[in-house]
Amino acid sequence: MSKQYIYFPFTTAQQRKFLFETWEETGNVSESCRKAHVGRTTFYYWKERFDEHGYAGLEEFASRAPKKTNRTSPEIEEKAIALHVEHPQWGRRRIADELAKATGTTDQR
């Protein structure tokens, strides 16, 4: 039987602010987490940033998006689109093969 993972969305800036406001009022981490609907791990993850920057530190966090995307160059994209318009019956592999022939490169699959 495979493990089933539960998806937990990222906390919002409002949620993080409410979490730390409640914590400052009550001094109770468990109660603050329960009211803000977050886990204790989330509290301690953000606490270091809160201690260092205050409420401003809770606003944004580092993006997890890839820093470098593997995009095809615009020239190749234009050629691929032109081939697709010219030959709508061709699939992606045929177009890739035709582009490889035209540029003199080989596909390394």
Which H/E stretch holds residue 41? helix 40-53
Tokens 């318009």 found at: 85
**Cβ neighbours of 33 (radius 10 Å):** 19
Q: Is the pLDDT of residue 107 over 60?
A: no
Spatial distance between the Cα atoms of 39 and 34, rounded to a whole number of angstroms? 8
- Model pTM score: 0.52
Chain segment 11-53, per-residue pLDDT in tens: 888 999 999 999 999 999 999 999 999 889 989 989 999 999 9
CA-angle at 66, arms to 11 and 49, nearest 5°:
40
Q: Could you say which DSSP state residue 88 is in? A: T
The pLDDT value given to residue 66 = 67
- CB-based contact 13:58 (threshold 8 Å): yes
